[in-house]
Structure formats: structure tokens, C-alpha cells
Amino acid sequence: MASLAVTLSAADPASLDVDVIVVASRAGDDGPELVAHPALSGLAEQFAAIGYTGKADELLRLPALEGSRASVAVIGMGAEVSPTAARLAAGSAVRQLAGTGAVALAFGLDDDASVLAAVEGASIAAYSFTNYRAKTSAKVKAPVQQLVVSTQASVDAEALESIRIVAEQISLVRDLTNRSGGDLYPQALADAAVEAAKGAPVEVEVWNEEKLLAEGCGGIMGIGQGSSRPPRLIKVSYSPAGAEHHVALVGKGITYDTGGYSLKPAEAMVSMQNDMGGAAVVLGVVLAAARLGLAVRMTAWLCVAENLVSSTAIRPNDILTIRGGTTVEVMNTDAEGRLVMADGMVLASEEQPDAIIDVATLTGAALVALGRRTVGVMGDTELVGSIVAAGEQTGEPHWHMPLPAELRAQLDSRFADMTNLKVGNRDGGMLVAAIFLREFVGKRADGSPIPWAHLDIAGAAVNEGPGYGYLAEGATGASVRTLLAAIEGRFTA
């Protein structure tokens, strides 16, 4: 995958060999205020006549500068000037200027944090997904290829390289999540993981159905038995020398979800190829960490299956035995993600990591509670707090949700150790799903629970609407940057 080529320049923006020079505008109390390199200050005089407001994502095209071949674009930054605003504004400009070869950012921001944030937003925005375009491929404008940041800051080259590495892994997550379930089935996802890991200091192990059966992974096997394309568990291990801490990541990888015999309505089934987004995220996090050389051991467990309807699919009231022996009565076959994840949680716990973080497009209830841009985070208070704080740092909203004790009763079963869902009760659906997963978090040697956090990315994993900020329509790669920041800050500091 091609990366955005980024350079920094202290030269006058008008002298740069680019196609478009981008400045920003803040929405001030008395109208738009220019946020730009001092050499471009005269552009503000044109705002009032045109009716430009400077609100976020608003892009205005102006004629070429005198003595330059480059035209000018003004991007709205919203009400404040900050690294977060710079990230969104730069990304929005690069996204909307697709089809342009070379772009210069001339925001006049010279602090390292703002420059790096702008580069990060632009790098994520320089993305498109055209795998299935044939006769209509010409309608999709190519992403911006080159970015010149006009600044006096002297940002470390290593910091720019880190942004490139992370942006590449986010593109991988988006590519995988956008792919059709017809061609990204469990073995195909395993093959993609092996291919993506080439050249990285990681080990990839793929468990086929025989291995899963032998290892007692009844959740993954149960959900996967309805498909002619059997399930897989993909283990990706990064073990740097001298690492003092170990973080396990567990990802939901339902490559297509019909709901099984608890069949989804037709409209709810659309976009269910995205239901492996959690597995894609944990893969991207571990590969990014490995390529960045983070000094923390990481193991990703991708729990992968198709949830289809057939004569071999599980039925409501079937009882599955999860690895470790817990029995689960399946009350709703559309609550399948937590069943495959349960095996992954037990496997992760057996290695006694310092923390377990699971990521899943788990519940529609997450969208009802938090909308489509905020990730719900549940679990150990301290670990959850570090993830939420990292989300504030990266500009990805994450919100701490509670796990009320009284909701555990919804998982009581007549015949098994527990159920996967109480049919007919929709109260706290996101929270109940997390409480189910908590049952499979193991204990440390001293008998205390392994610190655990659960991320429900059902809303944030895919942008269903028009583009905004640095994100186009489709998969977003949400939580990759947040988890990297949280893990680095908590386990390498």
C-alpha cells in the first residue's frame, strides 16, 4: 500500500512546487479568522465577500497565488486552534482534495504537537478503497500523493516515520474491514494476516478446525459450524527482547454475520462484512507495535468465523462448552461475537499477561448509547482510564461505561452455567455483553483478576455517512492509535 510522502519546508509557501496550498480558518466570534503562514495573511480579506464561515470541514477554493502555479484552499478548523483541530482540518483538506498530486499545508503552526497532528490527519486521509471497482474506477479520485508542511518547526524524522507506520496499519485495518464477506472468509483473513505480517518481527500461528476442536474452543467451533468455510483462530505474537510487560489483545472476527437462526432483518444484515473489525484492529495494533519497536510484548488472538444459516448451524437452546469448561446455553444465535471471543479470552488468560484488552463490533446497543463516533470502554477502572485518556490525546473519543452488578442475572441459565443473552430483555445490551466476556477473564498467580478492558467499536468502526475530518465513508480503523498510545504510555513508561 502506498503511503503519503511527507516533507517539511521553512520556505515561503508560494515558492513551493505543489498543486494546492492549504490554509485554515477559525470560526471566530466576529467571523472567520485566518490561521495561516504570515506570508498569506492577505487571504483573509476575501472571506467576507464570499460568505465563508470557517466551520469544521468547510473547504473553500481560491485562485492561484500571484507568482505561483498553486491554487489556494481554505479549510475550516472550527472554533479552536489545537493539535486536535489541526489533525481534523489537515485530514479534511487532504480527503477533499483527492485527485490532487501535491498539497502544501500552510497553517502557520510551528509547535511540534500541531505539526505532527496535521501530518497524522493528512496521512490517514490519503486513503481510498477500490478493490471492487471495475468500470467505475475512474470515478474515484486518487488520494493525495505528496504533502509539504510549511513550518519553522524541526520535527524529528523518527516521529514522522512513526506516523507513516501507524497510518499504513490503519489502512490495512480499513482494507480488511471494507472487504466483502464473500471473499474475506476465515481462511482468507488468516492468509491476509500472514501476508501483512511479512517483514515484521512477529510470529503468526493459524489454528484450523481440527486444532480448534482439539483445544476445546467450543465457542468458535459452534458459531463456525454453520458455514462450509470453517472457522480459524489467528495468533499473532510480538516478543521483543527485554520486554517487561505483556499485553494480550482479543479481537472479534465474524467475517459475515447473518444472525444465524436468530436471523437479522434484511436491512440490519447490510454491512455485516464489517463484523470482523475488532480482529482487524488488534492485528493492526500488534503489527504497528512490532514495526515501531515498542518495548512491550503483545499477543493478538483473532477469533474468526462466519455466522451463517444451514442444516449444520447451531440452534437457540444449544449448549456450547467454551475452552476451560464453562457451558453456555445459546439463547440468541445473533449474540455470536461474545461466544467466539470467550475462547480467545480464556486462551489469552492462560498466558498470564499483565492486561487483556478485547475489541469487538459487539452490540447495536453501543450505537444507541454512544452514537457512531464514540467507543464504549468497560472493565478495570485504571486500565479503562488509561485508554480513555489516550483517546483524548489521539482525538478518538472513548467513554467509560459501567458494569452494574444487577445485570449479571440476565445471563443465568436453566440448564447450563450461563446463557449468552436473556431473550426479550434489551436493557443495557452493551453492558451485558461486557459482563458476559468478564466471566472468561482469568486470574493472576495471586488470585486477583487479570486487568481487563473491553472496547465496543460497533459505532466507530465504520463511517456510514458522508466523510468528515480525515475519514471517508467506510471503515475507519478506530482505536488503533488510541490503543497504541495507551499501551505505550502504561506499559513502557
Residues assigned a catalytic role: 264, 338
**Dihedral of the CA atoms 378, 379, 381, 385 (nearest 10)?**
-50
What does the alpha-carbon distance between residue 304 and residue 280 come to, in Å, rounded to a whole number?
Answer: 10
Query: CA 146: distance to chain centroid?
Result: 24
**Rounded to whole angstroms, what are the CA distances from 165 to 162, 283, 286, 425, 441?**
5, 14, 12, 44, 31
Name the residue with cell 455470536.
336
The x, y and z cell numbers of residue 188, run together, are 482468507
| Residue owning grid cell 468465523 | 305
Instruction: Using alpha carbons only, give the angle 55, 462, 288 rounded to the nearest 5 degrees.
Output: 100
For the chain, the farthest-separated pair of C-alpha atoms sits apart, in whole angstroms, at 80
Cα distances from 361 to residues 103, 402, 434, in angstroms, run: 35, 18, 12
**CA-wise closest residue to 296 among 250, 351, 243:** 243
Question: Which of 152-157's residues contact partners 24+ apart within 8 Å by CB, and which partners?
Answer: 152/10, 152/110, 153/8, 153/110, 153/111, 153/112, 153/115, 154/8, 155/8, 155/112, 155/115, 155/116, 155/119
Residue 124's H or E segment, with its range, is helix 112-125
Q: Please, which residues bridge with residue 119 across strands?
A: none
DSSP structural state of residue 296:
S
Strand, coil or helix: 338: helix
Q: How far apart are CA 360 and CA 338, in angstroms?
A: 9
Write b or e for each residue in 114-125: b if 16 or more Cβ atoms lie within 10 A of its Cβ, otherwise e. Answer: bbbbbbbbbbbb
To which H or E segment does residue 238 belong? strand 232-238
Using the Cα atoms of residue 172, residue 198, residue 391 and residue 23 in order, give the sign of their dihedral: negative
Q: Please, are residues 295 and 242 in contact by the beta-carbon 8 Å criterion?
A: yes
148 in Cβ contact with 118 (< 8 Å): no
Helical ranges in 128-206 per DSSP H: 157-178, 186-196
